[in-house]
């Protein structure tokens, strides 16, 4: 109820501003993304459901800017996630769970402060034909650090095709006795047609006061793609130790939250932090005509500890554009867990209908997604 009241007040302020959008630079935006998802394992367990967000989690946002003169521009974004299949908020603990930042764009680069998407999240379009979402992306099945609170960032101008970005998410530990550490991010991207390649990475240290396992959580992603005629070839490699067990499966959890936790820290008590995974993935797409694009991928997750917690998977799918704003999509995916592994399908949003526990641990999974995406 409180969140609904806050949202109503926010819209009351935002809507009059929209009437003067040309003068103030305020834009209301968002999307709906809903799909029928079916998941089955190799012993017949299955689930079918209406889910939100195969490609883009449903959302509502406001973004705006103001020209301050001398080449300086103030910018801001307020964005909240939605469960469009149920009409509920994606995160009941906060209003703008996806983004809430204020920034200054200058000739020397752009500075931002607030809750922001990670650079790992933002390079999705360079990773594979699915935009690194959907059941079909093996990288997505491993997990993607997506956004963090109290984040300060700087993005350089693009010079000679190169752009660099750094993030520093403050721990804000609330007391001098806690040994919290910031979450660091670094990214370098080179784009010059027909090539794009780069790196995006993250590092976080455990809490000094509670840690019994002192391994830092790391996520390193190297990617490259090449535009050929009517399509794109993609390759990516990830090295990370941010995977652990929870009630949903042997590899269904993360040690450092992908979407932030209180004070941006983790306790440092999970021995799985010492287990690193190497994930590689190859993908390609092809534009059949101006409306239809098809693609496929194959990828593997290798458990570097030798503990048999790896997996491999593949997918094929396509997008059909009904208009500039509306697309139909369909994907078929396959994921085979090793004996000790428990990875499962994911999307831009976690599927509300999914298999878990003994239905994914060591099992082979197949999945289908049929949906529609509309942007406004």
CA 262 to chain centre: 19
End-to-end distance of the chain based on CA atoms, in angstroms? 26
pLDDT of amino acid 263: 57
Residues of the chain with pLDDT under 50: 1-23, 175-177
CB-CB neighbours of 24 under 10 Å: 14
Contact between 318 and 309 under an 8 Å Cβ cutoff? The reply is no
- pTM exceeds cut of 0.75: yes
Distance (Å) of CA 127 to CA 12, 22, 48, 297, 311: 39, 35, 28, 10, 18
Query: What is the per-residue pLDDT for 179?
Result: 63
Decide: helix, strand or coil at residue 264.
Answer: helix
% pLDDT > 70, the chain: 90
Look at residue 219 in the predicted model and tell me its pLDDT: 98
**Looking at residue 20, what is its pLDDT?**
40
CB atoms within 10 A of CB 51: 24
Rounded to an integer, what distance in angstroms lies between the CA atom of residue 198 and that of residue 187? 7
Q: Are 98 and 128 in contact (CB under 8 A)?
A: no
Query: Which runs of E-coded beta strand occur in the chain?
Result: 27-41, 46-52, 59-69, 72-83, 88-89, 99-106, 109-117, 147-155, 162-169, 183-192, 195-204, 217-228, 231-240, 244-246, 249-253, 277-287, 292-303, 311-321, 326-337, 364-375
In 3-state terms, what secondary structure has residue 13?
helix
């Amino acid at each position: 109820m409180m969140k609904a009241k806050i949202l109503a007040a926010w819209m009351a302020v935002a809507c009059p501003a929209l009437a003067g959008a040309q003068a103030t630079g305020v834009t209301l935006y968002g999307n709906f993304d809903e799909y029928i998802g079916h998941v089955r394992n190799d012993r017949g367990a299955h689930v079918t459901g209406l889910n939100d967000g195969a490609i883009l989690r449903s959302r509502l946002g406001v973004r705006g800017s103001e020209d301050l003169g001398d080449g300086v521009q103030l910018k801001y974004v307020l964005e909240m996630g939605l469960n469009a299949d149920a009409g509920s908020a994606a995160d009941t603990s906060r209003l703008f769970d996806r983004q809430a930042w204020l920034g200054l764009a200058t000739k020397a680069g752009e500075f931002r402060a607030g809750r922001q998407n990670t650079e790992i999240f933002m390079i999705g379009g360079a990773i594979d034909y699915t935009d690194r979402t959907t059941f079909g992306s093996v990288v997505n099945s491993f997990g993607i650090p997506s956004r963090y609170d109290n984040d300060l960032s700087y993005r350089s101008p693009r010079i000679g095709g190169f752009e660099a970005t750094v993030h520093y998410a403050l721990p804000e530990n609330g007391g001098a006795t806690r040994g919290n550490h910031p979450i660091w991010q670094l990214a370098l991207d080179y784009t010059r047609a027909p090539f794009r390649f780069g790196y995006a990475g993250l590092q976080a240290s455990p809490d000094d006061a509670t840690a019994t396992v002192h391994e830092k959580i790391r996520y390193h992603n190297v990617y490259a793609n090449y535009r050929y005629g009517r399509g794109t070839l993609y390759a990516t490699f990830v090295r990370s130790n941010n995977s652990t067990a929870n009630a949903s499966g042997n590899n269904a959890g993360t040690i450092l939250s992908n979407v932030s936790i209180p004070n941006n820290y983790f306790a440092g008590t999970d021995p799985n932090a010492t287990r690193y995974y190497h994930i590689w993935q190859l993908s390609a797409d092809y534009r059949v005509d101006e409306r239809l694009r098809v693609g496929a991928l194959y990828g593997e997750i290798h458990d570097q500890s030798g503990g048999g917690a790896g997996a491999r998977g593949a997918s094929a799918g396509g997008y059909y554009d009904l208009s500039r704003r509306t697309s139909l999509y369909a994907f078929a995916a396959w994921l085979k867990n090793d004996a000790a592994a428990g990875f499962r399908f994911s999307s831009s949003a976690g599927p509300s209908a999914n298999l878990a526990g003994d239905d994914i641990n060591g099992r082979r999974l197949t999945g289908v997604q049929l949906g529609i995406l509309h942007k406004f």
